[in-house]
Amino acid sequence: MDARNSYKYNANTIVSGTNIVLLNQTYASARADSGDSGSPVFKITNNPQQYDIQLLGILGGAIVMERRSFYSPMSGIKNELGQIQTTPIIFINGTVKDNSQEIGSLV
């Protein structure tokens, strides 16, 4: 999910129909559908190179009526799990490119 417009940070979100509270979520004005939970949330930066992205976190879910989504930010994920390594999959014009090609970098 491309979340260029993240706007509310450190929000606690109640999971509908439960007494589970997700702490320190970030809201984004990006749409998500059923089955999207767990997807990477990123921002396309195209900086310093074309196709560069910034990994923001992992999608938690959506508030459908309000057309917004929430995600766990990378800072919280790293705080819980420690240092993690991410490997981008490069997808350009409908084709998956070999990760070893110098096309862009994950910030």
Domain residue limits, the chain: 6-97
pLDDT band at 59 (very low <50, low <70, confident <90, very high): very high
Q: pTM (2 decimals)?
A: 0.69
The confidence score (pLDDT) of residue 7 equals: 61
Given a cut of 50, whether residue 22 has pLDDT beyond it is yes
SS (H, E, C) the chain: CECCCEEEEEEEEECCCCCCEEEEEEEECCCCCCCCCCCEEEEECCCCCCCCEEEEEEEEEEEHHHCEEEEEEHHHHHHHHCCCCCCCCEEECCEEECCCCCCCCEC
Given a cut of 60, whether residue 1 has pLDDT beyond it is no
Comparing 33-42, 44-53, 75-84, 91-100, which segment has the lowest mean pLDDT?
Answer: 91-100
Among 2.40.10, 3.60.21, 3.15.30, 2.40.360, name the CATH number for the domain at 6-97.
Answer: 2.40.10
Given a cut of 60, whether residue 33 has pLDDT beyond it is yes
